[in-house]
Amino acid sequence: MAKKSVRKSSSKTAKSKAAHSSKRSKVSRGKSSVARARAKPAKRVSKAQVKNLQTKNNIRIVANNLIIFFILFLISVILTQVSYNIIRNPATALVFQNLFAIFSMAFGFISVAFLIVLLVFVFMRLIKK
């Protein structure tokens, strides 16, 4: 008897799932036909092309970060030199001078790190060719 009740409940759930899936299929049929009409055929891309694209993107990202941090380094070095002459109060000028000196060291180290990473990517690309 327990088996019959299981079968009845499973048939009920199967019917409800079928009805529910038919509702989904009706909704998705309309969307997929529109999507299929607009979709372009997929092009096959080789793994070498994907890796080449990834290395180009990585090099571009590293180069952009190197440029940004090098510009920040130059700005902080200039502000370190100029801050003492602009601010009249010597104590405040010294604080700003020390602050910009710390910024210039930090940005300098980060820009050197990006330069090393950029050189590694360039040499890896040259070795592969």
What does pTM read for this prediction?
Answer: 0.59
Distance between alpha carbon 28 and the CA centroid of its chain, in Å? 32
**Nearest Cα residue to 99 out of 127, 77, 71:** 77
Domain extent listing, the chain: 49-129
- What is the chain's mean pLDDT, rounded? 77
Can you tell me the distance from the alpha carbon of 122 to that of 126, in angstroms, rounded to the nearest whole number?
6
Token pair for 60: 């571009």
Please indicate whether residue 12 or residue 47 has the higher confidence score (pLDDT): 47
Helix axes 47-86, 90-128, angle to 10 degrees: 160
Q: What is the pLDDT of residue 51?
A: 65
Contacts of 37 by beta carbon, 8 Å cutoff, 6+ apart: none
Can you tell me the distance from the alpha carbon of 16 to that of 20, in angstroms, rounded to the nearest whole number?
6
Q: What is the pLDDT of residue 36?
A: 57
Give 21-44 pLDDT, tens digit per residue: 555 545 555 555 555 566 777 777
Q: What is the mean pLDDT of residues 65-79?
A: 96
Can you tell me the distance from the alpha carbon of 32 to that of 28, in angstroms, rounded to the nearest whole number?
6
Give 86-122 pLDDT, tens digit per residue: 888 888 889 999 999 999 999 999 999 999 999 999 9
DSSP state of 45: -
